[in-house]
Amino acid sequence: MRVTIFGASGLLGKALMREWSGDTVTGLTSHAADIRDAKRVREVVQEASPNWIVLAAAYTDVDGCESNPELAFAVNRDGAVNVAVAAKEIGAQLLFLSSDYVFDGRKTTPYETGDARNPQSVYGRAKAEAEIKLLELMPECCIARTSWLFGTGGKCFPDTILKLAASRPALDVVNDQRGSPTYTEDLARAIIQLCRKDARGILHVTNAEDCTWFEFAQEIVRGAGLSTAVRPVSSKQMARPAPRPAYSVLSLARLQTLGIEMPSWQDALRRYLAER
């Protein structure tokens, strides 16, 4: 199988490049192909002629998207469409990375793949509109929604918490947003399986179990053997430009029907801390 990965220099892209063996994998950065440039995307896709394209490239600064919506929609929606058009032209299958932020967070039980989208942020709107456009253009494409990524090789929440914990006596962390942290190594392995299983349609792919950011931070500090105090605060106390869903746990039921089981985020965090 030939595989092309857009976003190979990102947190997930690096994990995909590390984990993917047994197939011919080409990894692309924004320097090699800016997904806003339809002509360039077409060229690189035709040159690599992949069976599968994994689209992990995105403008992922959720707060930055609020102040720069043109860039958010140009990359995260229109760029995704450029890749889908190029994939369709050569008959390649596409796996697009989407987000829990397509939901509004008003549910109290895990979001199913068919639940209505109602994004609250610019980033979420761009991802939701990309999903709709991709499904119109390529009904057979695969959309993998994930959440709260962490992993080696880039900035992520555990990394930030450990740096802060080393220099401060106490940390304030929000306790009113619940979701599922996801280790990029586990997500990468699941994506590889999805491609090999020729998966189609919308899937949720996160580590199992859920927590708040506060609970996640507590476990990070404890796991690293630090004694820094972690204090729960509300989102209002830590106001940020983009609204985040209060609850964005994604149901893994559809993923399980494909025979893919995800480890818990606690297990994933232990492995991340050991490997770091």
Active site residues: 123
Nearest approach, Cβ of residue 254 and ligand NAP (Å): 17
Percent of residues in the chain assigned helix, strand, coil, to nearest 5:
45, 20, 40
Tell me the backbone φ, ψ of residue 53, rounded to 5 degrees.
-115, 130
Judge whether 233 and 172 are in contact, CB under 8 Å.
yes
Nearest approach, Cβ of residue 12 and ligand NAP (Å): 3
Judge whether 181 and 172 are in contact, CB under 8 Å.
no
Instruction: Rank residues 75 and 199 by Cβ distance to ligand NAP and give the closer one.
Output: 75
Secondary structure, 3-state, 22-63: CCEEEEECCCCCCCCCHHHHHHHHHHHCCCEEEECCCCCCHH
CA atoms of 185 and 151, how far apart (whole Å): 7
CA atoms of 248 and 106, how far apart (whole Å): 8
Instruction: Rank residues 56 and 138 by Cβ distance to ligand NAP and give the closer one.
Output: 56
Largest CA distance in the chain: 56
Instruction: Rank residues 211 and 228 by Cβ distance to ligand NAP and give the closer one.
Output: 211
Q: Which residues bind ligand NAP (CB under 6 A)?
A: 6-13, 29-31, 34-36, 56-60, 75, 79, 97, 99, 146-149, 154
Nearest approach, Cβ of residue 161 and ligand NAP (Å): 14
CA atoms of 90 and 271, how far apart (whole Å): 39
Residue with tokens 């950011």: 213
CA atoms of 117 and 133, how far apart (whole Å): 14
CA atoms of 141 and 245, how far apart (whole Å): 26
Q: What Rg do the C-alpha atoms of the chain give, in angstroms?
A: 18
Residue with tokens 């480890």: 263
Instruction: Rank residues 31 and 169 by Cβ distance to ligand NAP and give the closer one.
Output: 31
